[in-house]
Amino acid sequence: MKPLAFYPGCALQAMSWDYRESIKAVASTLDLELRELPDWTCCGATAAHSLDEAMSVALPLRNLVSAEKLGLDLAVACPMCFKRLTYTRLTVRKKRDEIPEGLALDHRILDLARLLASEELLERIRNQVRNPLTGLKMVSFYGCQVVRPPKIIGHDDYENPQHLDRLVVAAGADAVDWSFKATCCGASMGIPKRDIGRTLIAKLLVQAYASGAQAIVACCPLCQSNLDLYQPELRRQNDVLRRHAPLPILYYTELLGIALGLDAVLPGLKSHLVDPVPLFTSLRRQGSNHG
Amino acid sequence: MQPGTTALNIVGNEQAWSQDLARKTGIQVSSCYQCLRCTNACPVSTFMDIKPHQIVRRVLLGQQESLLTCSAFWVCLSCEMCSTYCPNEIDVAALMNRLKNMVMELRREPAEIAIATFHKVFLDVLDKHGRINELQLMNRFQWRMLRQGFQPARQEVFRDLRLTFELVRRKRLKLLPESSPAMMEIRHLVHHGSEETPS
């Protein structure tokens, strides 16, 4: 597999450093070379398109220019960045005359999770799993940005996306079905509007428990942060949540890291507010009792 | 005219707005048959003063002045459920976005000050560093809200401080922001690029 340019996105610098470290560890184990864009800048996210549509295209475009200089397809870790970059590429390509001089825009923009769930990499994962997570029940949470709208994303599986589920199965765990795979977590609305954010997050947690899942696997830094960081606060207010053990929220790369036996993902797991380590320790204990 | 009938008071073309919108953005509100699929799919319609299908209707009826004072489109999360499920392929999410942009372009007061402030502060941090730093974003947001007279409850302040402490301890909030090597290019975009905003 050819090397890829890599766009990490702002969240991976601080809030979601655990995602960044787990991507590095998993990519190097799978012989996937990711070359970070040296001068990447923020995609503008929701703020840019809400306040200034022109800027919401201009900001991602300068990253596409930078990626094209490397002459490689671009892998993107954050769903929000993935969508803004993909949207920009489509929008600019439509207005042929406005494409900056010398820019071809002919390289692909890839969502890292979908890429890892492609058959070639999935096979490499299956071959290298050292700690299969047998018996672990997981629901996959995709959020909005990697599935909607299908016209921009380029996949029409928005009703029932399955790439994270395939990764869960490759890690040896059980992918549990639920109806909330692509339900919005409230994004950053929880900061200016506490009630809206908390309501949507609580609903997702309640539904995950109802599905019988022991953990949630996520692909979006904002979804992971929302579901993890507000759990202690929500548990104090919500009886349904208190009846269950706290629910660990893992990135797919962290889950793969555990299954592949990569110690490099362990410090990152400790940065979660809901510590996922006890779940995996008890899983191993059960496994050794049966085995 | 017969007694009991009322003459129509036609003062202008009420569809001028929606026609102009369709021409410039491709958002075709005249295709709407009010099936409410957008509103039923919306995860935050319960928090909106008017619902997504009503927004589409008001645009068609040309009720721009009253619509721009609504909070509904500020509450929109851009989750794109409405645009994905509309049977007539109306890009409702893009419409919500256009309305937020219009409020800014016309320099009106946004109906949801906290949400608009959060977006503005995000662009301030982006302007300063070319990348977002969460701690800066939160601090600037809280100061800007305080300056606008929004006093948070004591209990909330403590809760936020406790979370901030936990996150700093876990290195999930960084005290020193990282800047992009291309920071100056971003400043140029933020200060000059927006002059090309389409109407």
CA distance linking residue A10 with residue A47, whole number of Å: 14
Q: Looking at beta carbons, which residues of chain A come within 8 Å of B170? A: 270-271
* Cβ-contact B53, B38 below 8 angstroms: yes
**Looking up tokens 């490689």, which residue turns up?**
A72
List C-alpha distances in Å: B58 to A3, A19, A119, A250, B67.
50, 43, 48, 43, 7
Tell me what pLDDT residue A87 has.
Answer: 97
Tell me what pLDDT residue B198 has.
Answer: 39
Strand partners, A109: A74
pLDDT digits (tens, 9 = 90+) for A162-200: 999 999 999 999 999 999 999 999 999 999 999 999 999
* Cβ-contact A252, A220 below 8 angstroms: no
pLDDT digits (tens, 9 = 90+) for B65-113: 999 999 999 999 999 999 999 999 999 999 999 999 999 999 999 999 9
Starting at the edge strand found earlier in the chain, the sheet holding A249-251 runs A174-175, A137-141, A215-218, A249-251
List C-alpha distances in Å: A55 to A50, A182, B68, B188, B193.
10, 27, 22, 11, 6
- Best CA proximity match to A146, nearest among A175, A117, A106: A117
pLDDT digits (tens, 9 = 90+) for A254-270: 999 999 999 999 999 99
pLDDT digits (tens, 9 = 90+) for A117-174: 999 999 999 999 999 999 999 999 999 999 999 999 999 999 999 999 999 999 999 9
Domains of chain A are: 4-113 (1.20.1050.140), 130-290 (3.40.50.11810)
How close does chain B come to A54, measured CA to CA in Å?
5
Global ipTM:
0.95
Domains of chain B are: 16-105 (1.10.1060.10), 113-196 (no CATH)
Q: Do A271 and B171 touch (CB under 8 A)?
A: yes
pLDDT over threshold 50, residue A242: yes
Assign B4 to helix, strand or coil. Answer: coil
Q: Packing angle between helix B183-192 and helix B113-129, nearest 10 degrees? A: 140
Tell me what pLDDT residue A224 has.
Answer: 98
Beta strands (DSSP E) in chain A are 4-7, 34-36, 74-76, 109-111, 137-141, 174-175, 215-218, 249-251
How close does chain A come to B167, measured CA to CA in Å?
8
pLDDT digits (tens, 9 = 90+) for A51-62: 999 999 999 999
SS3 per-residue string spanning A46-89: HHHHHHCHHHHHHHHHHHHHHHHHHCCCEEECCHHHHHHHHHHH
Q: Looking at beta carbons, which residues of chain A come within 8 Å of B167? A: 15, 229
How close does chain A come to B125, measured CA to CA in Å?
10
Residues of chain A numbered 52-111 and touching chain B (CB < 8 Å) = 52-55, 58-59, 62, 66
Tell me what pLDDT residue A274 has.
Answer: 98
Number of cross-chain residue pairs from A and B with Cβ atoms under 8 Å apart:
169
Q: Cis ω on the peptide bond leading into residue A149 (within 30° of 0)?
A: yes
The amino acid sitting at A31 is: D
CA-nearest residue to B46 within chain A is A196
Tell me what pLDDT residue B1 has.
Answer: 65
Q: Packing angle between helix A53-70 and helix B92-105, nearest 10 degrees? A: 110
CA distance linking residue A110 with residue B25, whole number of Å: 27
CA distance linking residue A9 with residue A41, whole number of Å: 8
Nearest to B84 among A14, A40, A150 (CB): A150
- pLDDT-wise least confident of A17-21, B44-48, B177-181: B177-181
Q: Looking at beta carbons, which residues of chain B come within 8 Å of A53? A: 97-98, 101, 197-198
pLDDT over threshold 70, residue B193: no
pTM of the model: 0.94
* Cβ-contact A92, A81 below 8 angstroms: no
**Looking up tokens 């994004």, which residue turns up?**
A187
Q: Do A44 and B126 touch (CB under 8 A)?
A: yes
How close does chain A come to B136, measured CA to CA in Å?
12
Residues of chain A numbered 157-196 and touching chain B (CB < 8 Å) = 158, 183-184, 186-189, 191-196
Tell me what pLDDT residue B194 has.
Answer: 46
Tell me what pLDDT residue B195 has.
Answer: 46
